[in-house]
């Protein structure tokens, strides 16, 4: 591991910027005066970091990424807002992440160990959890909330203010205008749920028994014979001993008036995974 900081002579570092030990700033980078870069960060080259942006230790940022740009929101009046990126993130070519707006949360927060592939975008005031992957061209609108261990497929778009629950998988080429519950798979133009992310749950180490409990809870919550609100109360009692099932119940119960929850595809309330 490199112990000395290296800055290529062709890069521009504004006075006031802070760069941690062991970081490597490649050629033709621009780093603004309000930027904080952690230790052992690598900017490969042609990277722009501006605004009040903090990049955590161990991140790698590839050419043409622009981090900390102002929000694409006409209500923002230019006040100081922030972008904070966690540790050990990989940020590939042409990725953009914006600071928050000065009339809202005022902060965009990205967790640790994220992977952001080429041309993906994190808009103003988003909160992105740990171990999140945005595949090529995936886009988050403003104010989105993304839980831990979420995967978003290439060329998918998430509408502003949408919440994505932990361990969900969003298929490529899809449009998400409503909240996606934890542990689910969702896909389509104006996406619908396609069941549980069983493969992802297995990879995370979840037991077969807990996955089966989640599948029963999923059926109960989305039983079309009753209103969703009634199903949630039934599930809250029936699955009270399952912390994972309760995460889905609590996620749906906590949605605000502006939040529409993505429903299952019509005629399908179970996932299509095998029982093995």
pLDDT digits (tens, 9 = 90+) for 6-49: 999 999 999 999 999 999 999 999 999 999 999 999 999 999 99
At 173-185, the pLDDT tens digits run 999 999 999 999 9
Give me the domains of the chain, ranges plus CATH numbers.
Answer: 6-161 (2.160.10.10)
Catalytic-labelled residue, pool 142, 178, 195, 200: 142
Catalytic-labelled residue, pool 32, 38, 68, 125: 125
CB 31 within 8 A of CB 12: yes
Q: Which residues pair with 48 in a beta bridge?
A: 30, 66
Residue 32 bears catalytic tag: no
Locate tokens 């995460």: which residue?
247
CB 112 within 8 A of CB 130: yes
Catalytic-labelled residue, pool 76, 98, 124, 143: 124
Band (pLDDT 50/70/90 cuts) for residue 272 is very low
Q: Give the span between the Cα atoms of 241 and 238, in whole angstroms.
A: 8
At 79-136, the pLDDT tens digits run 999 999 999 999 999 999 999 999 999 999 999 999 999 999 999 999 999 999 999 9
Residue 139 structure tokens: 């886009």
Q: Give the span between the Cα atoms of 206 and 155, in whole angstroms.
A: 29
Residue 124 bears catalytic tag: yes
Residue 142 bears catalytic tag: yes
């Amino acid at each position: 591991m490199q112990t000395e900081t290296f800055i290529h002579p062709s890069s521009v570092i504004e006075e006031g910027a802070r760069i941690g030990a062991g970081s490597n700033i490649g050629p033709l980078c621009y780093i603004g005066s309000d930027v904080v870069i952690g230790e052992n960060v690598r900017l490969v080259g042609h990277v722009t970091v501006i605004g009040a942006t903090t990049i955590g230790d161990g991140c790698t940022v590839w050419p043409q990424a622009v981090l900390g740009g102002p929000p694409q929101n006409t209500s923002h009046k230019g006040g100081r807002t922030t972008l904070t990126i966690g540790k050990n993130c990989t940020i590939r070519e042409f990725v953009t992440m914006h600071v928050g707006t000065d009339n809202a949360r005022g902060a965009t927060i990205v967790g640790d160990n994220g992977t952001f592939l080429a041309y993906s975008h994190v808009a103003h005031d988003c909160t992105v959890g740990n171990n999140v992957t945005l595949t090529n061209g995936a886009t988050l609108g403003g104010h989105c909330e993304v839980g831990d261990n979420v995967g978003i497929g290439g060329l998918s778009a998430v509408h502003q203010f949408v919440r994505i629950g932990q361990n969900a998988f969003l298929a490529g080429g899809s449009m998400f205008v409503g909240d996606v519950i934890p542990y689910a798979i969702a896909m389509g133009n104006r996406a619908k749920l396609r069941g549980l992310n069983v493969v992802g749950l297995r990879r995370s180490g979840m037991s077969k028994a807990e996955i089966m409990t989640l599948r029963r809870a999923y059926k109960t919550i989305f039983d079309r014979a009753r209103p969703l609100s009634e199903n949630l109360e039934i599930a809250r009692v029936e699955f009270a001993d399952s912390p994972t099932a309760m995460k889905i119940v609590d996620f749906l119960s906590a949605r605000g008036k502006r939040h529409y929850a993505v429903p299952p595809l019509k005629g399908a309330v179970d996932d299509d995974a095998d029982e093995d």
